[in-house]
Structure 1
Amino acid sequence: MKKILVSLLVAAMVGATLTGCGSKPEGGNGSSVEQTSSVSPKDVVEKLKEYIPMPMEPTEEEAKDIYHLNLDDVESYGIALTGRSPGVGFAMVVKAKDGKVDAVKASVDKVLEDRVGAAFYPDEKEVAEKAKVEVDGNFVSLLIFSDDVAAEAIQTYEDAIK
């Protein structure tokens, strides 16, 4: 009798565990990562400034004009770029409003295009060409870092948004 009760208890615990792990978010924007983080993009960018030489932040007007952000599509954002020339270092993290991820991604894709086009030195251009726009839930990000800090900066970003 004890064996049966223990077996039933184990089966119930395993079933409950598998049910919790197997749930998937409904709807979504095609992203494979469910975003449950309450961290703000500004907080993430603040952590990434460590990897940007002489970090500068654009004004809200620059965010709209230079970085193509339609603030009606954006919940919040953070942007930092290097103030050194020549120099590599750029972080743009945007939290899109629900249903606006694709529009925000299109804006950030344009920023990447601009960064590649504006790169004057070969090192800057090479690094910018390797960058890509990432979507994690409602977060849309563009990170451009020199090879010597890129892995650590990306890990910092991933740790921050989880």
Structure 2
Amino acid sequence: MLRIVEFRDELAPLFHDINEEWISGMFEMEDVDRHVLQNPRATIIDKDGDILFVEVEGRGIVGAGALKWSGPGQLELTKMGVRSDLRGLKAGEFLLNALIERAVSMAPERLYLLTNKKCEAAIHLYEKCGFEHDADLLAEAQHQYARCDVAMTYRG
């Protein structure tokens, strides 16, 4: 059984560790990653963003994802990951759907995400859930992360 858990300060270390695991497993941690993961309240929550976790019954918190305002009307789905030892339970899809639902309630002009071609399974999931590749967004946002070579906008 899966359930969504709202951000609480005592869960900040899990947000950090889950994301550090997947980023470090495929890429190099960048300064922007460190800053956000070490300061989720200041960089996301206190700026009207949100962080959600997914919990698997009997396994605890296994995944996390954030919604971060990046400018007026611009909401980024970011820092979404699932513990590598617990992938395959559909926790990522469950979390992504909850994040999309929360984002829609926040009424952004644009909901988007930035990723890398190496993240093939994640990209397939994003496409399945209503995100489309966006070359214009990629040109705008590519400088945010050295690893960014895919940008997607939510179309519903």
With structure 2 as the length reference, what TM-score do the two structures score?
Answer: 0.39
Higher strand share: 2
User: RCO (CA 8 Å, sep 6+): is it higher in 1 or 2?
Assistant: 1
Larger Rg: 1
